[in-house]
Structure 1
């Protein structure tokens, strides 16, 4: 049987539900700005250079919103295993070396007597 190391919680990617929520929030925020640009473009008079800027915002924000919303979050960096991060004290050869601060409790085999024996 092949032994695989335990998955570290810090190396897991973001949950798909959380990632989708973040991307939808970005998209809806940019669409709200687009609607505000469109409304301001129509409502503000007299028309001037700012009308052109608002029109550009209303035209190009949908493209920018889709591009930003479709960018997935960056994958989590590979985490270092916690066992590898802990350094052994000097003079010890590794995990098999005895540790003086550890108390080990071991059960002894039970001594059962045969039925009827006294």
Structure 2
């Protein structure tokens, strides 16, 4: 018998996740272009603000674009790089492998 899932417990679709990340990247890159244009007009110490934005924003934009959805994985789909840990087999909190290693 298949386990019933509610619509609120399902993860976001890959298309929605990708679209959201693309919008975040586009906004960050638009702000960067504005910072570059401001570098042409701003003088003095104020030049550091748009220059810092133009230098730092590409890194932030790439990190945001590569970050997947922050929702948890309620249905247990393994993603690349996921770590799978065995549940303890007995009440002591140790798996069979750990118990065998302790007795040898």
Given the two structures, how large is their TM-score scaled by the length of structure 1? 0.57
Structure holding more helix per residue: 2
Moved more, 70-79 or 6-15: 70-79
> How big is the alpha-carbon RMSD for the aligned residues of Structure 1 and Structure 2?
1.8
How many residue pairs match? The answer is 75
Structure 1 outlier segments of 4+, above 3 Å: 76-79
Alpha carbons of structure 1 residues 16 and 77: separation in structure 2 relative to 1, 3 Å: closer
Cα distance in 1, alignment partners of residues 12 and 60 from structure 2: 23
- The TM-score normalised by the length of structure 2 is 0.64
SS at match of 2:17: helix
Which structure 1 residue ranges, 5 or more long, are not aligned?
A: 80-118
Mark the runs of 5 or more structure 2 residues left unpaired by the alignment. 76-104
Indicate the structure (1 or 2) with the bigger Cα radius of gyration.
Answer: 1
Task: Select 2:39's aligned residue among 38, 41, 49.
Answer: 41
